[in-house]
Amino acid sequence: MSTPITDAANAINAVANPRIVAFAKLVAAKLEPPPPPPPPPPAGKWAKGGYGLLSWATIPAAVSQYDVVIAADWQIARLSQLGSAATLYTCGSGTRKTGDGWNGVTTEELLAAGWQLKDSSGAPIINKGYAHITMADVGNTAYQAKWASNVAAYCHAHGVVRIELDDVDTTLSHDCGVPVPAYPNGAGWKEAHTSFVHAVTPVLSSVGISTYPNVADGATTAQFALSLKPAAGVMLEDFGNVYGAQVAKDILTGGMDVLALAYTPTVGKEQLLRTVDNGRAVYMVAA
């Protein structure tokens, strides 16, 4: 739209002196009005309008503005007070030792039952990015059953209504720095994750807990996400950088929720999400 500022800049642009032209453009750019705020989210599933928080540290005192608050087990006392926003961080593919946080199954339980991923020598595989995480075989049906039972009981006891299932990443090498004989060259790892989500979701649903995998499958992330129904929805981590509006739109129109986690800088990312929001999207920030 033409404004007096842009009209002036265009007029001066016709002057031959390049310094005058550059100065006029700079002034015009600085005086242009800021971009409009994102459109309001449509009426839909989320009572607060589709806003969420991933809490890395202590959950803030004021969180009433959020539909979804994700936190780990060490914040369970506070999380259990949040009603419909209470969302527990979990992970199926990685376990921790007792006292070092809890992802659903402890490392001690994992090793005792033989459910860990093993390297070519038979030793447990440690996550290549996190030395305290032992990798689990998410395709093992006994492990799936134990994990689902543990998490369902824990969430039900503490009033948690939703879980974020982290690291549902179909590329095995992202977490494992050594070959895994059970999944040569990573083959079958995607199917193992799919099997895990399909096994645990009904168990959790039976006690009123919704499942939200944090998915990653490259260019086919939307298709992979939709293959994980009956999960209620998925998280898209680093929305606006790794994942754009089209991926979110494909998942939303496919009938699943999207927790779109935006890392800083967040400028423009909510607006990007709201262009495709059909009432099922949650714009999330981390703190």
29/108 same-domain check: no
Determine how many CB atoms are found less than 10 A away from the CB of residue 189.
25
- Range 198-205 average pLDDT: 98
156/77 same-domain check: yes
* CATH number assigned to the domain comprising residue 152: 3.20.20.70
pLDDT class of 93 with cuts at 50, 70, 90: very high
Is the pLDDT confidence value at 5 over 70? no
Q: What is the pLDDT of residue 37?
A: 77
Q: What is the pLDDT of residue 140?
A: 98
Please, are residues 189 and 143 in contact by the beta-carbon 8 Å criterion? no
130/267 same-domain check: yes
Please, are residues 220 and 171 in contact by the beta-carbon 8 Å criterion? no
Q: What is the chain's mean pLDDT, rounded?
A: 91
How many independent structural domains does the chain possess?
Answer: 2
pLDDT class of 2 with cuts at 50, 70, 90: very low
pLDDT in tens, 215-228: 999 999 999 999 99
Q: What is the pLDDT of residue 44?
A: 85
76/199 same-domain check: yes
Determine how many CB atoms are found less than 10 A away from the CB of residue 150.
17
Is the pLDDT confidence value at 191 over 70? yes
List the single range of 43-47, 129-133, 240-244 with lowest mean pLDDT: 43-47
Region of 216 please: left (phi>0), alpha (psi -120 to 50) or beta.
beta
As a dihedral over the C-alpha atoms of residue 190, residue 183, residue 135, residue 199, rounded to 10 degrees, the angle is 40
Q: Distance of alpha carbon 125 from its chain centroid, rounded?
A: 24
Please, are residues 74 and 96 in contact by the beta-carbon 8 Å criterion? no
Q: What is the pLDDT of residue 13?
A: 44
Percentages of the chain per state (helix, strand, coil), in multiples of 5: 35, 20, 45
12/68 same-domain check: no
Q: What whole-number percentage of the chain has pLDDT above 90?
A: 84
14/149 same-domain check: no
81/209 same-domain check: yes
Please, are residues 101 and 177 in contact by the beta-carbon 8 Å criterion? no
Distance between CA atoms of 135 and 123, rounded to whole angstroms? 11
176/201 same-domain check: yes
Determine how many CB atoms are found less than 10 A away from the CB of residue 253.
13
29/42 same-domain check: no
Q: What is the pLDDT of residue 40?
A: 73
115/142 same-domain check: yes
pLDDT in tens, 145-179: 999 999 999 999 999 999 999 999 999 999 999 99
Nearest alpha carbon to residue 202 among 125, 145, 251: 145
Determine how many CB atoms are found less than 10 A away from the CB of residue 18.
8
Residue with tokens 């016709």, as numbered in its chain: 14
pLDDT in tens, 105-161: 999 999 999 999 999 999 999 999 999 999 999 999 999 999 999 999 999 999 999
Q: What is the pLDDT of residue 197?
A: 98
Q: What is the pLDDT of residue 22?
A: 54
Residue range of the domain that includes 7: 1-33
> In this predicted model, which residue has the larger pLDDT, 10 or 85?
85
**pTM summary value:** 0.86
pLDDT class of 42 with cuts at 50, 70, 90: confident
Evaluated on CA atoms 123, 181, 231, 54, the torsion sign reads: positive
Q: What is the pLDDT of residue 28?
A: 53
78/133 same-domain check: yes
153/224 same-domain check: yes
Exposure b/e, 255-273, CB count within 10 A at least 16 = b = ebbbbbbbbeeeeebbbbb
Is the pLDDT confidence value at 12 over 50? no
Determine how many CB atoms are found less than 10 A away from the CB of residue 98.
10
Q: What whole-number percentage of the chain has pLDDT above 70?
A: 88
